[in-house]
Structure 1
Amino acid sequence: MHLGATLRLLRVDAGLSLRDLARRIGVSSAYLSRVENGVDAAPTPERLAAIARELDVPAPLLMDVAHRLSPFVAHYLEEEPAAGALLLELARRRLTAAQLTRVRVWLDTEFPARAPWPDTPVPALSPVLSPDRMVLRMTCGALEDALDVAAGRLAAALPEVSASRLVAELRRREAESSNAVGNGVAVPHAHVENTPPLAALVTLARPLATETPDDIPLRLLVVLVGGERGPTWLARLAHVARLASHGLAERLGDVEQASEVQERLAVLEASR
């Protein structure tokens, strides 16, 4: 997990300087820089919630990337101590993502939510990804090679946009700030006006020795393009970072069929 890389990625896309965000949440820019570079530990849940408000992304996303306990959960555990024992049982049994999904389905059936979750719904990755935009077990010697291939797949779904334009936009954003979020995952992305949100997925047969925030070689790219900006776009980026923090590269790295990618991704997203 490398929360700092995700915070920097979101901050840059939100158009905020390090100094601006630091001032808004009441900390020094030096402290925020240390967090973004992984020198300092992840901020407290309260401070993460403040960052989420300023970036206009759902707070649970950042909590999950940081593997921090949400204040909402902490308050509930204080009110209902027995819930803590149940969480310990889940941990002791080491339920998988698929098993936790079954538990969630049972909860929704037996104990329907009494009120909507207070945060904005998070846009899932699955609906903007299709088998023809998956490149599995690719062999390449540089990040640029993977971007070229992904841009070609994305351009095929965008008749008005050339692959060369997509590559140029992806490289421009990468030059501005690294899109690697840790755990072997990078999220290259580009804004292209008047286009729907689309994703391409590239897994690498051999890890790519490129610069990453946690020094884990790159194994998987989720390449995003779209005309949207603002909260929905930032939530989409944060959601991919959250998937990365929960083992996206490990779960998909050895898959050779697009249908299996879809199945594993659906299970992972359903468990979040």
Structure 2
Amino acid sequence: MHLGATLRLLRVDAGVSLRDMARRIGVSSAYLSRVEHGLDAPPTAERLAAIARELDVPPALLMDVAQRVSPYVAGYLEDVPGAGTLFLEIARRRLAGAQLAKVRAFLDAEFPVRAGRDDGPVPPLAPLLAPERVVVRLSCTGWDDVLDVVAGRLGAALPGTDAVHLVEELRRRDAESSCAVGGGVAVPHAVLPGAVPVAALVTLAKPLKVDTPDGQPLRLVVATVDGGRCSARLVRLAHVARLAAHGLAERLLDARQPREVLSVLEELESLR
């Protein structure tokens, strides 16, 4: 997974320059640029947490994109060694997503916690979708075709929205910073002041060969429109990147109906 692409996408979307972000977290702009372009190893957990704070997104999201164990989890295992045995038992039983969701529901009911900003729940993507905004196995010849399709679906959910203007906004933001986050996933997004958050999802019949940070062809597009609240928008983008890091495109390869896509997505998000 290409963490750097997600960091750059979030930074640019937040309107923070490379030099300013580097200054805020105490590194050189040259180093941060190399991280964003995948030329250096991902930052330490402490630096990832610092970046997350500057962007006002939960650090756990960036840890997941980096496929790293959160320092919170590592610290808990050190303080409560017996918890490792429980993790081992879950692995031995090879619990599937639906079964893990039941375990999560039990924990929420029996041992509720007051979530803080760092570990609180992230608003899921599934409620922003609807069957009519899920296109399965789209046949297309290029990226522009994909943008036209998602703009049409998103525009239909936003009365009074000009689809042509929406496509232009999607293209403009992609030009500022590529919306390809790796794992075969791209997250084109647009800001329309006053719009309610809405999303569209497209799986491709054949992988699309476009420029991606990890070299994987594009197989899945998750497009969003937001009304302009910066923090919520960034959290949503980071969340989709996290799903991509955990194999979202692969999980949706065999889906043939929109309802199947939504079911898989809801299962994945029930564990996040």
Report TM bin, short chain.
Answer: over 0.9
Match of 2:232 in 1: 232
Within a 5 Å distance, the mapping from 1:55-204 to structure 2 comes to 55-109=55-109, 111-119=110-118, 120-204=120-204
* Cα distance in 2 between the residues matched to 1:105 and 1:114: 12
RMSD: 1.4
Q: Give the letter for the 1:51 counterpart.
A: I
Range with greater deviation from structure 2 (259-268 or 117-126): 117-126
Moved more, 100-109 or 86-95: 86-95
4+ aligned runs moved over 4 Å, structure 1: none
Q: Deviations over 1:219-239 (max 9, x none)?
A: 000001121222111101101
Q: Equivalent residue of 1:253, what SS?
A: coil
The aligned residue for residue 15 of structure 2 is 15
What are the residue-to-residue correspondences of 1:45-64 with 2, within 5 Å?
A: 45-64=45-64
Deviation, structure 1 residue 121? 3.8
Distance apart, 1:113 and its partner CA:
2.3
CA distance in 2: counterparts of 1:229 and 1:190, whole angstroms: 12
SS at match of 2:10: helix
Cα drift, residue 114 of structure 1: 4.2
Conserved? CA contact 1:137–1:203, under 8 Å: yes
CA distance in 2, matches of 1:118, 1:14: 18
Deviation at 1:53, TM superposition (A): 0.4
Give distance in 2, aligned partners of 1:161 and 1:107.
43
Secondary structure of the equivalent of 1:144? helix
Indicate if the aligned counterparts of 1:188 and 1:221 stay in contact, CA closer than 8 A: yes
Label 1:260 to 1:139 Cα distance change in 2 as closer, same or farther (>3 A): same
Matched, 1:260 2:231: no
For residues 99 and 65 of structure 1, the distance between their equivalents in structure 2, rounded to whole angstroms, comes to 23
- What is the deviation of 1:117? 4.0
Report the 3-state secondary structure (helix = DSSP H, G, I; strand = E; otherwise coil) of the residue aligned with 1:107: helix
Mapped contact 1:186–1:221 kept (Cα < 8 A): yes
Would you say the 8 A contact 1:197–1:228 is kept in 2? no
Q: Is the 8 A contact 1:137 1:254 kept in 2?
A: no
User: May I ask how many residue pairs the two structures share in their alignment?
Assistant: 271
CA displacement 1:84-118 (0-9 Å, x = unmatched): 23223333444332222122123233x41243344
For 1:233, the aligned partner's letter is: R
Deviates more, 1:80-89 or 1:28-37: 80-89
Unaligned runs of 5+ residues in structure 2 are none
CA distance, structure 1, for counterparts of residue 223 and residue 82 of structure 2? 43
Contact conserved, 2:201 with 2:220, CA < 8 A, in 1? yes
Amino acid corresponding to residue 122 of structure 1 in structure 2: V
SS of the counterpart of 2:77?
helix
Asked if 1:37 corresponds to 2:62, the answer is: no
Distance across 2 between alignment mates of 1:37 and 1:271:
30
Taking the aligned partners of 2:181 and 2:243, their CA distance within structure 1 comes to 10
Structure 1: distance between partners of 2:214 and 2:3: 10
Is contact 2:58-2:117 (8 Å) kept? no
Letter of the structure 2 residue corresponding to residue 214 of structure 1 = D
Local SS of the residue matching 2:225: strand
Aligned with 2:190: secondary structure?
strand
What secondary structure does 1:158 align onto?
A: coil
Query: 1:49/1:195 Cα in 2 relative to 1: closer, same or farther (>3 Å)?
Result: same
Q: Give the C-alpha shift of residue 78 in structure 1.
A: 1.2
